[in-house]
Amino acid sequence: MSTFGGPHDLGMAANEDLALFTKADLQDPKYAYLFLPASPPGTSGLGRRLNPDQYYFACRWDYTATPREFLRRALARVENPANGRAADARPVDWGPHPSTGRVADLSPGLAAALGLNTDDIVRITISARRAIPVKPTLAMKRVGHGSSNPHGKPVIKQFIKSPNCSCRNGARIDKIVLHCTEGSLASALAEFQKSDGRQVSAHYVIDRNGDIYQMVSDSDRSNHCMGANQNSIGIEHVGGETDPLAAPQAAASAALIRWLLEQYQIPRTNIFGHDFTPGYCRPGGTSCPDRLFGSVHSQATIAAWVEANV
């Protein structure tokens, strides 16, 4: 593999476009996140306008086997077999040129996240079942799972399995609980991986830079909100007691919540701050989620943030 795209990729001509996307796609929120808000100075093509921090890639596609329209809707799993790190990414282009001897080109951000350098080996898995619909309609049958969700699941930077979970036994997911780690990313990830401590966990942990880590499958119960774990998804946000959400963290959280609401048909009114979750029963309560969503510790603060952001 090698890397490509973005303002600093001088290997791409200033007017070079992409095989799978056109300028019309800049208006589509499903795809707009792949691009910078404006063309870098002196360029007009989509290649240099790619946001190098987003996760995208190119392969030398055979369009009879993987048609262009399929690729536009597909999410692929990209993996570094040397260290097991993996992430979801979107195909955007055809390449690299056969003369390079390489078969895949990754975004600089994706390569960095997976710990890959030029000419390393990468494994890419693309599955028809993970395609997203081209034209989601409200009339489409919503079954809670599968491909009817018009919101793509945000990229999970890494799935780090926590032992502190149990089978949901098919119980319906009907609420989302928002938390504050009251500590660093590293300390939260470490605590959730320990099986001999407080035995706590969360489904997701969102770092201040917007990176999302998953630690428990949605179909399992994580130990994040005593008394209310059976039917909830827990999202931790890295922050201290007086921190508000960081901007990229808020955007990532809102995107994840949007996907969860649609995926499990959760009512928008069922997004709670930890301390305000129905069923939560730890004696003495908690100060969580602190000041992340507003300066007043109340469910009204959470609801207002959801209204404004999700």
Quick one: 168 or 179, whose CB is closer to Zn ion? 179
**What span, in angstroms and rounded, lies between the C-alpha atoms of 291 and 77?**
36
Q: Judged by CB under 5 A, does residue 73 bind Zn ion?
A: no
Omega of the bond leading into 96 within 30 degrees of 0 (cis): yes
Helix (H) or strand (E) holding 273: strand 271-273
Q: How big is the site for Zn ion, counted in residues (CB under 5 A)?
A: 3
274 binds Zn ion (CB under 5 A): yes
CB of 44 to Zn ion, least distance (A): 48
Report the nearest approach of Zn ion to the CB of residue 175 (Å).
Answer: 14
Stretch that binds Zn ion, among 85-93, 132-140, 210-218, 267-275 (CB under 5 A): 267-275
Contact 57, 106 (CB under 8 A): yes
| Separation of CA 227 from chain center | 27
Is the Cβ–Cβ distance between 54 and 107 less than 8 Å?
A: yes
Query: Alpha helix (H) ranges present in the chain?
Result: 29-32, 46-49, 68-73, 108-114, 185-193, 247-264, 299-309
Give the whole-angstrom CA distance, residue 90 versus residue 77: 9
Choose the binding region for Zn ion from 32-40, 165-173, 182-190, 266-274 (rule: CB under 5 A).
Answer: 266-274
CA-based diameter of the chain, in Å? 66
Smallest gap from residue 229 Cβ to Zn ion (A): 12
CB 154 within 8 A of CB 206: no
**Candidate list 288, 292, 302, 306; residue touching Zn ion; CB under 5 A:** 288
Taking the least distance from each CB to Zn ion, the nearer of 59 and 180 is 180
Q: Which is nearer to Zn ion, 40 or 183 (CB)?
A: 183
User: Between 139 and 178, how does the x/- string for binding to Zn ion read (CB under 5 A)?
Assistant: ----------------------------------------
Identify which range of 33-41, 153-161, 207-215, 268-276 contacts Zn ion by CB under 5 A: 268-276
For the CB of residue 217, give the shortest distance to Zn ion in the complex, in Å.
Answer: 20
Least distance from Zn ion to the Cβ atom of residue 272, Å: 10
Shortest reach from residue 16's CB to Zn ion, in Å: 47
246-269 core/surface letters (b: 16 or more CB in 10 A; e: else): beebbbbbbbbbbbbbbbbebeee
Give residues in contact with Zn ion (CB under 5 A): 179, 274, 288
